[in-house]
């Protein structure tokens, strides 16, 4: 009888002591990421525009970076392009080539160039923006165009519902 009580007490102590706590805030965030969202094209474009504009403003401001062709800022990769070095081969690159051609033509004609968002395919969006000649990025790197490739999946996750 004593042995049975002792064994039951030992099992009781062991079963109560090793409980792992789950971080509920983290689990809730993961669950909301996997929740099915109904979003329309306009909401996706709005999220892409807001992300692109915030990065564009930093590049056209006093952002001091080390020069490279690709720079990661706020977890987003930005490709920097010198339009004077764009080749005819690059202009044949589908939708991206068309955008490069339009920016290059506008620059050659000394027209005002603005930000642009394009749907490249079903899963990819391209936000492009000119880099001002008075910004630090242009002065240091001599790059006059920025490209941000955004996946539709990441944009849908960013939509707040």
pLDDT at 53: 92
pLDDT at 16: 64
Q: Is the pLDDT of residue 127 over 90?
A: yes
Tens of pLDDT along 45-88?
999 999 999 988 888 888 878 888 888 887 888 888 888 777 77
Q: Is the pLDDT of residue 140 over 70?
A: yes
Domain ranges in the chain are: 39-158
Rg (CA), the chain: 26
Q: Read off the pTM.
A: 0.73
Distances (CA, A) of 132 to 10, 32, 118, 144, 147: 73, 39, 21, 7, 14
Distance CA 42, CA 46 (A): 6
Which stretches does DSSP call E strand in the chain?
70-73, 76-81, 116-121, 124-130, 145-151
CA-closest candidate to residue 60, choices 102, 115, 101, 98? 115
Distance CA 107, CA 104 (A): 5
Tens of pLDDT along 7-51?
777 766 676 655 566 667 787 777 777 777 788 889 989 999 999
């Amino acid at each position: 009888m004593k042995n049975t009580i002792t064994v039951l007490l030992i099992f009781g102590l062991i079963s109560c002591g090793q409980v792992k706590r789950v971080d509920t805030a983290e689990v809730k965030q993961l669950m909301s990421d996997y929740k099915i969202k109904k979003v329309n094209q306009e909401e996706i474009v709005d999220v892409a525009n807001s992300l692109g504009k915030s990065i564009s403003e930093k590049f056209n401001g006093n952002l001091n970076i080390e020069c490279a062709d690709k720079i990661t800022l706020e977890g987003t990769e930005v490709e920097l392009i010198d339009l004077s070095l764009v080749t005819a081969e690059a202009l044949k690159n589908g939708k991206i080539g068309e955008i490069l051609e339009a920016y290059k033509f506008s620059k050659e004609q000394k027209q005002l160039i603005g930000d642009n968002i394009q749907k490249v395919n079903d899963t990819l969006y391209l936000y492009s923006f000119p880099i001002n000649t008075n910004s630090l990025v242009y002065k240091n790197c001599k790059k006059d165009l920025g490209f941000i490739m955004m996946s539709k999946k990441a944009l849908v996750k960013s939509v707040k519902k």
